[in-house]
């Protein structure tokens, strides 16, 4: 069997499986149940926050033969064909590589035809801000007078780059960065189902490093699980993403605080010998100092384990 990346394997197939965007999925489900789905949507937000995932679910939900509470059944003939990517009525286009007037004109000509099998022709245009000016104009014409049987779902990480004329014709949903606890909750499900063993601290670190992007979090988890068949630890996570160990950052910071030049130089020597990038290292030291200051005031830090917190508190005195 061919290998499927974890984030593809665990891409949510229903709105209820998506985490952290309940304000959007609830509205979409209500619209589907009430039969009031708009003709153009704009999903905007950071990478890995679920824009394309929900666009795909929406494309199935509006066409599903047996929708349940606004969700697609994922089992009927139409859902299955969309999932396989074989239904020509649902078109996914990446505007980063198809951004010309001709690409959009092709869609404009196509929308006049009725769908072959499904109820609606659905066009999902990813990274829509990459379209050329001419392409936007061509798209605008279609958005102004869309045929009844057509839905557009545009997705972008940079909504400010879209012309106001396009924005005003779409129902807009803003996707939030996914909270650390939501990332951790999802990672735990993936680990259980994939037999991946991981410590709580390692999970927390992955969540913080992913900065609210679920796809990044799953990718880091996947790299760690490929690297080691044993329990994934915080050290392995940091090592894989190229972060110098906290040990060495702490060593240099402490040496600076104590005016100990010998130890400070030793620490830098260790980093160089370890093959780690010095520029990254300096940034990590600056971040560490900031974290200690934050800790001094708030007594709260996300990225650190209990043991490391104790060390932080000592240096902050």
Residue number, 76 or 184, with CB nearest to Zn ion = 76
Q: Give dist(CA 157, CA 190) in Å, integer.
A: 26
Residue number, 74 or 219, with CB nearest to Zn ion = 74
Q: Does 167 bind Zn ion (CB under 5 A)?
A: no
Q: Does 24 bind Zn ion (CB under 5 A)?
A: no
Q: Which residues ranging from 47 to 66 are in contact with Zn ion (CB under 5 A)? A: 64
Q: Give dist(CA 215, CA 51) in Å, integer.
A: 11
| Shortest separation between residue 13's beta carbon and Zn ion, angstroms | 11
Q: Does 73 bind Zn ion (CB under 5 A)?
A: yes
Stretch of 72-80, 85-93, 97-105, 167-175 contacting Zn ion, by CB under 5 A:
72-80
Residue number, 55 or 79, with CB nearest to Zn ion = 79
| Shortest separation between residue 11's beta carbon and Zn ion, angstroms | 17
Q: Does 249 bind Zn ion (CB under 5 A)?
A: no
Residue number, 57 or 214, with CB nearest to Zn ion = 57
CB 73 within 8 A of CB 90: no
Interface residue with Zn ion among 13, 37, 76, 256 (CB under 5 A) is 76
Q: Does 83 bind Zn ion (CB under 5 A)?
A: no
CB 163 within 8 A of CB 136: yes
| Shortest separation between residue 98's beta carbon and Zn ion, angstroms | 28
Q: Give dist(CA 232, CA 247) in Å, integer.
A: 18
| Cβ neighbours for 258, distance < 8 A, ≥ 6 positions apart | none
Which CA distances in Å does 154 have to 51, 54, 119, 125?
9, 11, 19, 5
Stretch of 77-85, 106-114, 155-163, 247-255 contacting Zn ion, by CB under 5 A:
77-85
Q: Tokens at residue 315, please?
A: 């240096």
Q: Give dist(CA 175, CA 23) in Å, integer.
A: 9
> Residue 243 has what DSSP assignment?
P
Interface residue with Zn ion among 59, 79, 125, 150 (CB under 5 A) is 79
DSSP class per residue in 20-80: S-HHHHHHHHHHHHHT---SEEEEEESTTSSHHHHHHHHHHHHH-SS-BTTB--S-SHHHH
| Shortest separation between residue 60's beta carbon and Zn ion, angstroms | 6
| Shortest separation between residue 50's beta carbon and Zn ion, angstroms | 20
Element (H, E) at 172: strand 171-175
Binding-site size, Zn ion (CB under 5 A): 5
Residue number, 73 or 294, with CB nearest to Zn ion = 73
Q: Which residues ranging from 28 to 47 are in contact with Zn ion (CB under 5 A)? A: none
Contact set with Zn ion (CB under 5 A)? 64, 72-73, 76, 79
């Amino acid at each position: 069997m061919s290998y499927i990346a974890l984030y593809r394997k665990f891409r949510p197939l229903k709105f209820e499986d998506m985490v952290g965007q309940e304000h959007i999925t609830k509205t979409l489900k209500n619209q589907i149940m009430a039969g009031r789905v708009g003709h153009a949507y704009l999903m905007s937000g950071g990478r890995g926050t679920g824009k394309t995932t929900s666009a795909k679910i929406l494309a199935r939900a509006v066409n599903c033969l047996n929708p349940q509470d606004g969700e697609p059944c994922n089992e009927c003939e139409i859902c299955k064909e969309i999932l396989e990517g074989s239904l020509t009525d649902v078109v996914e286009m990446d505007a980063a590589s198809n951004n010309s007037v001709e690409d959009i004109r092709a869609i404009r000509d196509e929308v006049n035809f009725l769908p072959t099998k499904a109820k609606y022709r659905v066009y999902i245009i990813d990274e829509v801000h990459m379209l050329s000016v001419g392409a936007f104009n061509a798209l605008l014409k279609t958005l102004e007078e869309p045929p009844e049987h057509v839905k557009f779902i545009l997705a972008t990480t940079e909504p400010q780059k879209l012309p106001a004329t396009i924005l005003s014709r779409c129902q807009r949903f803003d996707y939030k960065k996914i909270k650390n606890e939501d990332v951790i909750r999802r990672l735990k499900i993936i680990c259980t189902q994939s037999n991946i063993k991981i410590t709580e601290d390692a999970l927390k670190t992955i969540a913080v490093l992913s900065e609210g992007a679920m796809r990044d979090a799953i990718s880091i988890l996947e790299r760690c699980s490929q690297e080691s068949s044993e329990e994934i630890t915080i050290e392995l996570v940091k090592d894989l993403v190229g972060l110098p160990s906290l040990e060495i950052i702490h060593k240099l910071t402490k040496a600076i605080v104590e005016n100990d030049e010998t130890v400070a130089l030793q620490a830098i020597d260790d980093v160089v010998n370890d093959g780690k990038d010095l520029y990254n290292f300096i940034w990590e030291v600056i971040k560490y100092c900031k974290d200690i200051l934050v800790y001094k005031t708030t007594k709260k830090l996300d990225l650190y384990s209990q043991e490391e917190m104790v060390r932080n508190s000592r240096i902050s005195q």
